[in-house]
Amino acid sequence: MKEEIIIAGFGGQGVLSMGKILAYSAIMQDLEVTWMPSYGPEMRGGTANVCVIVSDRKISSPIITRYDTAIILNQQSLDKFEGSIKAGGLLVYDPSGITRVPERKDITVCSIDAIDVAAEIGNAKVYNMAVLGAYLKMRPALKMENVVRGLEKSIPSRYADMIQKNREAIEKGMERVKILSEIR
Amino acid sequence: MTEKILMKGNEAIAISAIRNGVDGYFGYPITPQSEVMETLMKEKPWETTGMVVLQAESELSSINMVYGGACCGKKVMTSSSSPGISLMSEGISYLAGAELPCVIVDVMRGGPGLGTIQPSQSDYSQCVKGGGHGDYHCIVIAPASPQDMYDFVDWGFELAFKYRNPVIILADGIIGQLMEKVELHPSKPRRTDAEILAAAPWATVGKPAGKERNIITSLSLDAGTQEAFNRKLLAKFREIEANEVKYAGYLTEDAEYLLVAFGCASRICEAAVDMLREEGIMAGLLRPITLYPFPEKEISRLASRVRSMMSIELNLGQMVEDVRLAVNGKCPVGFYGRQGGNVFTPEEIMEEFKKFNNLK
Amino acid sequence: MDTLSDIKKPENLVYGKPALLTDNIMHYCPGCSHGTVHKLIAEVIEDMGIQDKTIGISPVGCSVFAYNYIDIDWQEAAHGRAPALATATKRLCPDKYVFTYQGDGDLASIGTAEIIHACSRGENIVVIFINNGIYGMTGGQMAPTTLIGMKTSTTPYGRDPKLNGFPLKITEMLAALDGTAYITRQAVHTAAAARKAKNAIRKGFEYSAKGIGLSFIEIVSTCNSGWKMSPTDANRWMVENMFAKYPLGDIKDVLK
């Protein structure tokens, strides 16, 4: 099993921490991971993206250009990465910032209204976890118990209440994900 | 059981320093390695192990703080990125000239000049061939993962004290920023004053009345004395070359073609080798782990068996010069590199490899 | 009476070389202030009984070989960097006495960043600053502290502020920093001046043990070779000219 994922959006949307929680959850399941951010001037306010690789074998190159899954949170990122998804792959996106819908027909496309989930929970910070939930529903390789352990490892213990809220957002994200087109 | 933590290469350097009994870290912020000092400051090791952590006013000052700390026989280190290493070069030459042990981490970025902040391997020549003035070598070790970053701190100090010589951990922006699972091995306490005196009887920590005083200097003035010292250094370097070479081969034994790459480039090459093998092309990879001493014997041995070698680097072609020297005409040697902070992909390397070797 | 053996009786001893000064023949020119200042430092360390706890850091300049003359552990720094070495040494060995010995080129020119930040951080070290207004070791070039009109090998027509800038009163600058505890300017051209300078050096070492910040002792000095004067003329010239620009006395003492 090897899953190569790109997560991309604006700085501040929780792109890097979503990747980190995903990576930690995989470690809790005894898998190998790499988490490689794009770093540089764009860290300050512009687009942010992180490439996460999860595998049951040792991972060689952390640098990849084709992805099994793209998790997309803004239009610029959709434009940049839609073409890089492998045929038969998965695209999860938040439609709120999207003006041009995905066009690929050879991949599974689904959307998640993550802002609504965050509003219901009453904390904007859990937005990225709703997106993560949508992804985990579509690619159920990671067990929920390991995701919770990943959350516990990533969130400082003084924010213990946030672990519960994040878990709630993940679960709601799993429920709310909309499959727009599916490749089987 | 060892603890497994997801961390960046830069964080691994900091956590390893604390857990391996390092006495002092002196640094100055520069992208892409600022997390090293940030992590140390966040962890407050002065409250636990007593480790000193200080933000200096410049790289010039931080390397000279390392010099002062090393004079006391302490395990001291610094980290920086390319332009900062240029500023440190004076101090590194003095450290080598005074035969002082220390660990210097270079998380390389694109240059020359201010360059970019993205990953690069363009300080190979600077670090491996000298960088500062005078006849000397630093021992240079090249990590390829956050786990290596963690492990190489302790290994670096072992080498530094064994040979009384500066050690450079030559990483790059990818290894610094990449997060992976890191196993934290059982920790080591800092050395006691008595242990330091036993390991470093030359240390300047105050002399009792009856004892000869210790003087740490790199100054000779007399040409004969200086030459004798240079010869002593040469003997030390020959010993290092005989004892400390380290490399990792990947599918080298049945390889018809060899890629040579260090650090992050070696991992990208490993993926390229897998892809080439899937197409039935017998490629292999040699990853030098010590860049000085360079694995020239192994390269020479493989050169008589393979059809060609290709050095793959994130620069304009620096290590390839050492590969050519080691190959010594036994097989054709090619080079492919990217610069400026751009990173090649496995597909790109495969394509260039085929071009060089006239394969389809 | 008055035989050599009588004179050498311990009870007749009025003056001796400090035990901590080595027997190495000093390389300094006759008349140079360095020898006197070395002797004062050796006496202070001996008086305080801290030989086994003291680490000296020598500079680049004439006093690069200071380590040959005082019998303690020494580190020899790169040009200007002594305060960085001292910072690490003191922080890693907080129970030791750490001092730097630096000239005006080393401290006030190439090493300005290091001295300013060591002062600003309030490192608990002692800095001995020898100011003779000239580069001695390299053969008499202009120093940052060279006086206006003073001739050196790189200001052969005299220092002109339009060409060469103004003399740097770095000691006053450092006194403005919160991390300095004791700042004074002394000289060693007379026995009385040397006694005062010795007291100042001792105070510096005592303050450094109190953990209240950096102590900085400037010694306005002569370089009769560089100035191209006899030792006595150099002393006279220093009193008339150097003291006018660099007046003696305490500049800052946080415990007063």
Architecture of domain B248-357: 3-Layer(aba) Sandwich (3.40)
ipTM of the complex as predicted: 0.93
Q: How far is the alpha carbon of A147 from chain B, nearest alpha carbon, in Å?
A: 14
pLDDT band at B333 (very low <50, low <70, confident <90, very high): very high
SS3 percent helix, strand, coil of chain B, rounded to 5, is: 45, 20, 35
Angstrom CA distances, B24 to A49, B42, B148, C190, stand at 35, 15, 21, 44
pLDDT (tens digit per residue) in B154-185: 999 999 999 999 999 999 999 999 999 999 98
Residue in C71, C75, C114 closest to B216 by CB = C75
Angstrom distance (rounded) from CA B3 to CA A161? 25
* CA torsion, ordered C221, C224, C230, C232, to nearest 10 deg: 0
Window C:57-76, CB contacts with B under 8 Å: 57-58, 64, 67, 71-76
Flag whether residue A40 sits within 8 Å of chain B, measured between CB atoms: yes
Predicted confidence (pLDDT) at residue B72 exceeds the cutoff of 80 = yes
H-helix or E-strand spanning residue B119:
none
Predicted confidence (pLDDT) at residue B223 exceeds the cutoff of 80 = yes
CA atoms within 13 A on the CB side of C91: 28
Q: How far is the alpha carbon of A140 from chain B, nearest alpha carbon, in Å?
A: 21
C177-198: average pLDDT: 98
pLDDT band at B4 (very low <50, low <70, confident <90, very high): confident
Which residue from B298, B216, B284 is spatially nearest to B256, judged by alpha carbons? Answer: B284
Contact B6 A60 (CB under 8 A): no
Angstrom distance (rounded) from CA A118 to CA A126? 6
CATH code of C29-253, in short, is 3.40.50.970
Q: Decide: residue A144, CB within 10 A, 0-12 exposed, 13-18 middle, 19+ buried.
A: middle
Contact C85 B72 (CB under 8 A): no
A26-48: average pLDDT: 80
Contact A65 B345 (CB under 8 A): yes
Where does B244-283 have alpha helices with state H?
Answer: 263-278
SS (H, E, C) C164-232: HCCCCCHHHHHHCCCCEEEEEEEECCCHHHHHHHHHHHHHHHHHHHHCCCEEEEEEECCCHHHHCCCHH
Q: How far is the alpha carbon of C22 from chain B, nearest alpha carbon, in Å?
A: 11
Q: How far is the alpha carbon of B174 from chain C, nearest alpha carbon, in Å?
A: 31
State the CATH class of domain A2-181: alpha beta
Predicted confidence (pLDDT) at residue C10 exceeds the cutoff of 90 = no
The pLDDT score that the predictor gives to residue A43 is: 47
Please state the domain extents for chain B: 3-197, 248-357
In chain B, whose CA is at the least distance from the CA of A52?
B179
pLDDT (tens digit per residue) in A112-150: 999 999 999 999 999 999 999 999 999 999 999 999 999
The pLDDT score that the predictor gives to residue A41 is: 53
Residue in B26, B57, B58 closest to C88 by CB = B26
Fold that domain B3-197 belongs to in CATH: Rossmann fold (3.40.50)
Q: Which residues of C92-110 are buried (b: 16+ CB within 10 A; e: fewer)?
A: bbeebbbbbbbbbbbbbbb
C110-122: average pLDDT: 98
Window B:170-209, CB contacts with C under 8 Å: 204-209
Predicted confidence (pLDDT) at residue B1 exceeds the cutoff of 80 = no
Q: What residues of chain A lie within 8 A of the CB of B274, using their CB? A: 60
Q: Which residue type occupies A10? A: F
B252-281: average pLDDT: 97
* Residue carrying structure tokens 């801290």: C50
State chain B's mean pLDDT as an integer.
Answer: 96
Chains touching B by CB (3 or more pairs below 8 Å): A, C
| First-residue to last-residue Cα distance in chain C | 51
Flag whether residue C55 sits within 8 Å of chain B, measured between CB atoms: yes
B309-327: average pLDDT: 98
pLDDT band at A28 (very low <50, low <70, confident <90, very high): very high
Where does C23-94 have alpha helices with state H?
Answer: 34-48, 82-92
Q: Of C52, C64, C75, which to mutate for an interface test with B (greatest number of B Cβ within 10 Å)?
A: C75
pLDDT (tens digit per residue) in A97-122: 899 999 999 999 999 999 999 999 99
Q: What residues of chain C lie within 8 A of the CB of B66, using their CB? A: 88
Contact C96 B205 (CB under 8 A): yes
pLDDT (tens digit per residue) in C43-70: 999 999 999 999 999 999 999 999 999 9
B19-29: average pLDDT: 97
Which residue from C239, C218, C232, C215 is spatially nearest to C170, judged by alpha carbons? Answer: C218
Q: Which residues of B124-157 are buried (b: 16+ CB within 10 A; e: fewer)?
A: bbbbbebbbeeebbbbbbbbbbbbbbbbbbbbbb
In chain C, whose CA is at the least distance from the CA of B57?
C117
Contact C84 B209 (CB under 8 A): no
Q: Is residue C59 a contact partner of residue C77, using CB atoms and an 8 Å limit?
A: yes
In chain C, whose CA is at the least distance from the CA of B68?
C85
Flag whether residue A152 sits within 8 Å of chain B, measured between CB atoms: no
pLDDT band at A156 (very low <50, low <70, confident <90, very high): confident
Q: Is residue A52 a contact partner of residue A33, using CB atoms and an 8 Å limit?
A: yes
The number of helix segments (H) and strand segments (E) in chain C equals 11, 9
Which residue from B251, B254, B267 is spatially nearest to B307, judged by alpha carbons? Answer: B254
Angstrom distance (rounded) from CA B275 to CA B269? 10
Give me the percent of chain A exceeding a pLDDT of 70.
96
Q: Is residue B84 a contact partner of residue B305, using CB atoms and an 8 Å limit?
A: no
Window B:18-57, CB contacts with C under 8 Å: 23-24, 26, 52, 54, 56-57
Q: What residues of chain C lie within 8 A of the CB of B99, using their CB? A: none
CA atoms within 13 A on the CB side of C102: 32
Residue in B58, B76, B219 closest to C88 by CB = B76
State chain C's mean pLDDT as an integer.
Answer: 96
Which residue from B134, B137, B53, B43 is spatially nearest to B90, judged by alpha carbons? Answer: B134
Residue in B52, B64, B209 closest to C77 by CB = B64
The pLDDT score that the predictor gives to residue C13 is: 85
B244: Cβ contacts below 8 Å, ≥ 6 apart = B139, B159, B290, B293
Q: How far is the alpha carbon of C23 from chain B, nearest alpha carbon, in Å?
A: 14
- Per-residue tokens: B5: 């933590």
Please state the domain extents for chain C: 29-253
Please state the domain extents for chain A: 2-181
DSSP E strand stretches across C11-81? 54-58, 73-76
Residue length of chain A = 184
Chains touching C by CB (3 or more pairs below 8 Å): B
Contact B72 C93 (CB under 8 A): yes
Q: What residues of chain A lie within 8 A of the CB of B143, using their CB? A: none
The pLDDT score that the predictor gives to residue A50 is: 95
Question: At how many degrees (to 10) do helices A144-154 and A160-176 cross?
Answer: 140
DSSP E strand stretches across chain A? 2-10, 32-37, 47-55, 67-72, 85-93, 108-111, 178-181
Angstrom distance (rounded) from CA C193 to CA B113? 51
Q: What residues of chain B lie within 8 A of the CB of A4, using their CB? A: none
Predicted confidence (pLDDT) at residue A42 exceeds the cutoff of 70 = no
Model pTM score: 0.95
Contact B181 A32 (CB under 8 A): yes
Angstrom distance (rounded) from CA A129 to CA B236? 56
Chains touching A by CB (3 or more pairs below 8 Å): B
pLDDT band at A40 (very low <50, low <70, confident <90, very high): low
C76: Cβ contacts below 8 Å, ≥ 6 apart = B98, B215, B216, B217, B218, B219, C57, C58, C64, C67
Q: How far is the alpha carbon of B218 from chain A, nearest alpha carbon, in Å?
A: 40
Could you check whether the bond before residue B119 is cis, i.e. omega within 30 degrees of 0?
Answer: no
The pLDDT score that the predictor gives to residue B228 is: 96
Beta bridge partners, B335, equal: B311
